[in-house]
Amino acid sequence: MDFETQKVAIIDDEPSTLLILESAVEALAEVVTCSTSGEALSFINQCLPDLIVLDISMPELSGFDVCRQLKASPVTAAIPIIFVTSHSDVENERNALALGAIDFISKPIDIELCRLRVKNHLMLQQQKHLLAHINAQLEAEKKQLSVTLRSIADGVISTDTQGQVTFINPVAQRLTGYPEHEALGKSIDVIMELRDATSNATMVNPAFYALKEKRTAAMAFNTVLVSRENQVFRVEDTASPIIDDQGNLLGAVIVFQDVSEAVEMAVKMTHITNHDQLTGLPNRVLLHDRIVQALSQRISPRSSIALLLIDIDNFKYLNDSLGHRVGDSIIKSIAHRLKAIVGSNATLARVGGDEFACLLTDIGSGFSADSIAMACLQAGREPIVINGKSHQLSLSIGISLYPQDAKNAEEMMRHADTAMYRSKAKGKDAFSFFSTDLQQAMHRRVELEIILRNAIENDTLVIFLQPKFDFASKSMMGAESLVRLYDDEGNIIGPDEFIPLAEETGLIHQLGHQVLRKSCALVAKCNGLGQELKVAVNVAAKQLSNPGFVKEVDQIIRNSGIKASSIELEVTESALMHDFEQTRDMLNALTALGLSIALDDFGTGYSSLAYLRQFPLNVLKIDRSFVIDMDQEQQAFDIVLAIVNLALSLELSIVAEGIENQAQFDALFELGCHAGQGYMLCRPIPEEQFLTDHVLLDNRIHLV
Ligand code: C2E
Ligand code: CA
Ligand code: CA
């Protein structure tokens, strides 16, 4: 689009004027001329000039007629016309303008003036073309853009500065459920309901951030779009402000994609990479993550995390001899059993061909890990029936604990593995701890349980007697019966070691029964020798929770033929705290039988005076821990003083435990405590010795 290509047509019947005009214009454009007004129309139609210079007075058709014809045709109507007039005539000029002419050139022709006029109009014309061209281009671009936006796979919505929708493409219409005509003019947050995929909380549309902060804003991770029909799409993408060249905000455009499928795929992929295909259990990768996570979120500094590595014994042999199908079935069935044991709070993973791992978070000590291990071993022994054939299997388990055994996930795995090989070495079908301390403690526990069970079964538990002395008469007023257990080598095992185990395993009921029976038998023996004896028997909290306890005690006493008043039961404060009503009723029933009740280890619990008042108690035993310190520490002395006063106010008698030296004895005596037991007075001794020394000889204590 430049001047050379512009064309000026001159129509005039006078050759001289034609020449003048031609010479005036030729430097500006290509000039074509026509001197016959009758042919002007066809001439113009042929050459289609950019500008026409038209004489008004011509013989055939006047310039006005030619102009009229040109304006009537759509092809030529837009071509600007400059008239050439011989005299400036207002009438002519008015007519000419009315017909659509744009300018005049007057005769006689001033060449320079004529040239300038034509030049200006050509320039105007040129700009008009340019503008039309740009417009056409813009129009084309707009069309292309609109086609693009309408055909791309992303949802596109644009808004004005208020966030009201000005454009919505078909994808966005489909995802939001709003057709274009309904969406336009509505607020973006009405059209796009965005929520957090996890919490379902409503989220602010990023278009508002784009508008407010004039920056591109990404949609929060984990966003879902809820359509008008309540369809949910996982969406992802951004909103940008629309800003013009001057920096004015015009609106925002938000582009988003439905990533539901991609997310689903990603979830599937993570599941595949984190799980074992055969059993569906987490694999080694996920287990490692879980261990790391557990170590970083350990519930309390006192709790431990255990990792059990569980291996199927002789699996390779089974797999090779029975085939892989059977092998797979075995793996699946073991996985199923183990899963049932460990439950949903633990992670059970398959970490190798025939290896599983179980991660237990929050265990109190090694012992709850060992009960799970024991249950797993048991489950492994259950025969597996495949194709009608039964297979007998066993497992080997290794246990490592955090923080006792390992500093990190890798060490836990390694140490559980070491422990597992220890189980294999022991002959399989066993579990082992990595830590030798725990291993030994666990061994001891298992060993002790066997010894205790045997002793109970064979009735070989024995009682030792520790006399209680009355300070005033210096003579024995009774004895406490203390259970003892002998191991295979004849070593004595103290009750502190096995009473807790007996309580845990429930063996305490039988143990208590036997101790009471032996104690009653001793009383009966003394009675037979013509001596009265009162024996105190310890009762564990768990025994009191047995509803048949009173009946059992009554039965034993009756069978032994002694008076119930010869037996005192020692119960601890913690036993009383258990079930108030049931315990009170039980103690009342025992009292009604004629037994007396002593409160053992007094001062170590938390019972209030008002609380104690509600139980039928006869004796308070001051705990050894106070007696030990009372000759050294003012506080211990004060506590004993308080206990003595309390006992007096409750009209209870007092027995001090654990008197080991004269100073303690003196202090107690001074406080008004008149009975006690302790190594200084007499250690717990076997029955025969007790009978000879204290029943037959009436050994009195030697006090200064
Ligand atoms: P306890 O009822 O407080 O028994 C007193 C314990 O203190 C006994 O320990 C006794 O040997 C010990 N002792 C006595 N005088 C002294 C002393 O002067 N100094 C020191 N340091 N210790 C002294 P033992 O026989 O080892 O019994 C420990 C605990 O086992 C008993 O504490 C009792 O709670 C429980 N126990 C013992 N026999 C039985 C029983 O047959 N049934 C139940 N349920 N528990 C029993
Ligand atoms: Ca006791
Ligand atoms: Ca005690």
Residue of the nearest CA to atom 22 in ligand 1? 658
Nearby residues of 140 by Cβ (< 8 Å), 6 or more positions away: none
Dist. CA 94–CA 79, nearest whole Å: 19
Residue 567 forms part of a structural domain: yes
Produce one character per residue of 460-489: b if its CB has 16 or more CB atoms within 10 Å, e if not. ebbbbbbbbbbbeeeebbbbbbbbbbeeee
Same domain? For 662 and 691 the reply is yes
For residue 534, report the distance from its CA to the centre of ligand 1, in Å: 17
Q: 370 CA distance to ligand 1 centroid (A)?
A: 29
For residue 468, the ligand closest to its alpha carbon is: 1
Q: Domain boundary residue among 98, 132, 166?
A: 132
Q: Ligand 2 centre and the CA of 372: distance in Å?
A: 34
The pLDDT tens digits for 578-601 are 788 899 999 999 999 999 999 998
Give the closest residue to 627 by CA, choosing from 609, 639, 616, 610.
639
Q: Which atom of ligand 1 is nearest to the CA of 657?
A: 15
> Which CATH number do you get for residue 426?
3.30.70.270
Cα 699 to averaged position of ligand 2 atoms, centre (Å): 22
Q: Are 650 and 618 within one domain?
A: yes
570 C-alpha vs ligand 2 centroid, how far in Å? 6
Q: Within a domain: residue 142?
A: no
pLDDT band at 703 (very low <50, low <70, confident <90, very high): low
- The pocket around ligand 1, CB under 6 angstroms, is made up of 466, 482-483, 494-496, 499, 512, 515, 538-540, 570, 600-601, 624, 657-660, 677-679, 684
Instruction: Give the ligand 1 atom nearest the CA of 621.
Output: 3
279 in the same domain as 245 = no
Domain with residue 643: its CATH number is: 3.20.20.450
- Contacts of residue 197, defined as CB under 8 A and 6 or more positions apart, other chains included, come to 222, 223, 224, 234
Please report whether residue 700 resides in a domain: no
Are residue 529 and residue 673 in the same domain, yes or no? Answer: yes
Closest ligand 1 atom number to CA of residue 463: 41
Comparing C-alpha atoms, which of 214, 261, 215 is closest to residue 236?
A: 261
- Closest-CA residue, ligand 1 atom 27, reads 495
Q: Which helix (H) or strand (E) holds 9?
A: strand 7-11
Nearest-CA residue for ligand 1 atom 7 is: 658
Q: What is the percent of the chain where pLDDT is above 70?
A: 97
Q: Residue for token digits 């003048």? A: 20
Atom of ligand 1 at shortest distance to CA of 483?
38
Whole-number Å distance between alpha carbons of 363 and 206: 46
Which of 540, 555, 544, 621 shows the shortest CA–CA distance to 588? 544
Q: Are residues 250 and 281 in the same domain?
A: no
Lowest mean pLDDT, pick from 194-203, 372-381, 479-488, 675-684: 194-203
Q: Name which of 504, 501, 497, 503 is nearest 482 in CA terms.
A: 497
Atom of ligand 1 nearest to the CA of 543: 44
Among all ligands shown, which has an atom nearest to the Cα of 461?
1
CA of 593 to the centre of ligand 3 (A): 24
DSSP H helices in 578-704: 580-593, 609-613, 624-629, 634-649, 662-671, 687-690
Domain match, 614 and 635 both: yes
Give the nearest ligand 1 atom to 680 CA: 18
- The mean pLDDT value for 235-254 works out to 90
The domain that holds 199 is classified in CATH as: 3.30.450.20
Average pLDDT, the chain: 90
Residues 237 and 315 in one domain: no
- Residue 490 within a domain: yes
In the predicted model, what is the mean pLDDT of residues 87-107?
82
Q: How far apart are CA 483 and CA 350, in angstroms?
A: 48
Nearest CA to ligand 1 atom 20: 658
| Run of H or E residues at 484 | strand 476-486
Tell me what the mean pLDDT of segment 154-176 comes to. 94
Of 356, 359, 335, 337, which Cα lies nearest the Cα of 346? 359
Packing angle between helix 508-528 and helix 436-458, nearest 10 degrees? Answer: 50
Is residue 703 one of the residues assigned to a domain?
A: no
Residues pairing with 615 in the sheet: none
What confidence tens digit (pLDDT) does each residue in 52-63 have? 999 988 888 889
User: What is the C-alpha separation between 170 and 178, in angstroms, rounded?
Assistant: 9
Instruction: Report pLDDT for 220.
Output: 72
319 vs 391: CA distance, rounded Å: 12
Closest CA to 481 of 356, 587, 600: 600
Q: Which ligand 1 atom is at minimum distance from the Cα of 539?
A: 44
In a domain, 144, yes or no: no
Residue 51 near residue 118, CB atoms below 8 Å: yes
- Answer yes or no: do 118 and 157 share one domain: no
Window from 31-40, 86-95, 350-359 with minimum mean pLDDT = 86-95
Q: What is the DSSP letter of 597?
A: E
Task: Give nearest CA residue, ligand 1 atom 35.
Answer: 495
Q: For residue 108, is the peptide bond before it cis, meaning its omega torsion is within 30 degrees of 0? A: yes
The pLDDT of residue 678 is above 50? yes
Taking the CA of residue 495 as reference, the ligand 1 atom at the shortest distance is 30
User: ω into residue 403 within 30 of 0, thus cis?
Assistant: yes
**Identity of the residue numbered 506:** G
Decide if 85 is inside a domain: yes
Question: Quick one: 199 and 86 in the same domain?
Answer: no
Angstrom distances, CA of residue 361 to CA of 51, 123, 291, 302, 372: 94, 88, 9, 12, 12
Q: Where are the alpha helices (DSSP H) in 152-283?
A: 170-176, 180-183, 188-191, 206-213, 260-274
Tokens found for residue 327: 């092998």
* Residue nearest (by alpha carbon) to ligand 1 atom 21: 658
Residue pLDDT, tens place only, 300-331: 777 889 999 999 999 988 888 888 999 999 99
Shared domain check, 597 and 512: yes
- From the CA of 572, give the closest atom in ligand 1: 34
The b-or-e profile of 178-195 (16+ CB within 10 A means b, else e) is: beeebbeeeebebbbbbb
The last residue of one of the domains, among 204, 232, 264, is 264
Distance of alpha carbon 525 from alpha carbon 691, whole angstroms: 9
User: What is the C-alpha radius of gyration for the chain, rounded to an integer number of angstroms?
Assistant: 54
Domain boundary among 376, 411, 434: 434
Q: Please, which residues have CB within 8 angstroms of residue 575's CB and are 6 or more apart in sequence?
A: 539, 540, 541, 544, 583
- C-beta separation of 551 from 503 below 8 A: no
Residue 343 pLDDT > 90:
no
- Hunting for tokens 């490592």 — which residue is that? 400
Q: How far is the CA of 482 from the centre of ligand 1 (A)?
A: 6
The CA–CA distances, whole Å, from 217 to 191, 195, 236, 295, 588 equal 18, 16, 11, 37, 77
Number of domains in the chain: 4
The least confident of 239-253, 426-440, 539-553 is: 426-440
Q: Whose CA is nearest to atom 11 of ligand 1?
A: 684
Ligand 1 probe mutation, 461, 469, 482, most atoms within 8 A of CB? 482
Mean pLDDT for the stretch of residues 418-425: 91
Q: Is the pLDDT of residue 228 over 90?
A: yes
Structure tokens at 358: 């179980």
Torsion 258-264-265-267 (CA) sign:
positive
Q: What is the pLDDT of residues 189-221, one digit of tens each?
A: 999 999 998 888 998 899 999 999 999 888 777
247 and 281 share one domain? no
Output the pLDDT for position 4.
Answer: 52
The closest residue, in CA terms, to atom 10 on ligand 1 is 684
Distance 431 CA to ligand 3 centre (A): 37
Residue 73 per-residue DSSP state: S
Report if residue 439 sits inside a domain.
Answer: no
Q: Is the pLDDT of residue 366 over 60?
A: no
Dump pLDDT digits (tens) for 640-658: 998 888 888 888 999 999 9
Q: Which of 538, 552, 668 to mutate to test the pocket of ligand 1 (most atoms within 8 A of CB)?
A: 538
599 Cα: distance to centroid of ligand 2 (angstroms)? 9
Q: Which two tokens mark 443?
A: 């061994």
Same domain, 548 and 687: yes
For residue 421, the Cα-to-chain-centroid distance in whole angstroms is 34
Distance 87 CA to ligand 2 centre (A): 145
Residue 664: partners with Cβ closer than 8 Å, 6 or more residues away: 627, 628, 630, 631, 678, 680
Three-class SS of residue 563?
coil
pLDDT at position 3, please? Answer: 44
pLDDT of residue 607: 62
Burial class (CB in 10 A: 0-12, 13-18, 19+), 96: buried
Query: What pLDDT score does 251 carry?
Result: 94
Question: What's residue 347's pLDDT?
Answer: 93
Answer whether 56's CB lies under 8 Å from 30's CB: no
CA–centroid distance, residue 598 to ligand 2 (Å) = 9
The DSSP output letter for 700 is P
- Report the SS3 class of residue 172: helix
For residue 260, how far is its CA from the centre of ligand 2 (angstroms)?
70
Q: How far apart are CA 664 and CA 92, in angstroms?
A: 145
Q: What ligand is nearest to the CA atom of residue 496?
A: 1
- End-to-end Cα separation, the chain, in angstroms: 137
How many helices (DSSP H) and strands (DSSP E) are in the chain?
A: 27, 29
CB-CB contact of 386 with 330 (8 Å):
yes
CA-nearest residue for atom 41, ligand 1, is: 483
pLDDT for 606: 66
Q: What residue's CA is closest to ligand 1, atom 42?
A: 538
Residue 697 confidence (pLDDT): 84
Domain extent, residue 429, equals 275-434
Cα pseudo-dihedral 431, 433, 436, 442, rounded to 10: -70
Which residue puts its alpha carbon closest to atom 19 of ligand 1?
658
Q: Residue 105: give its domain's CATH number.
A: 3.40.50.2300
What does the alpha-carbon distance between residue 275 and residue 113 come to, in Å, rounded to a whole number?
Answer: 93
What number of other Cβ atoms are within 10 A of residue 424's Cβ? 15
The protein residue whose alpha carbon is closest to atom 46 in ligand 1 is 538
Please write the tens of the pLDDT for every residue from 506-523. 999 999 999 999 999 999
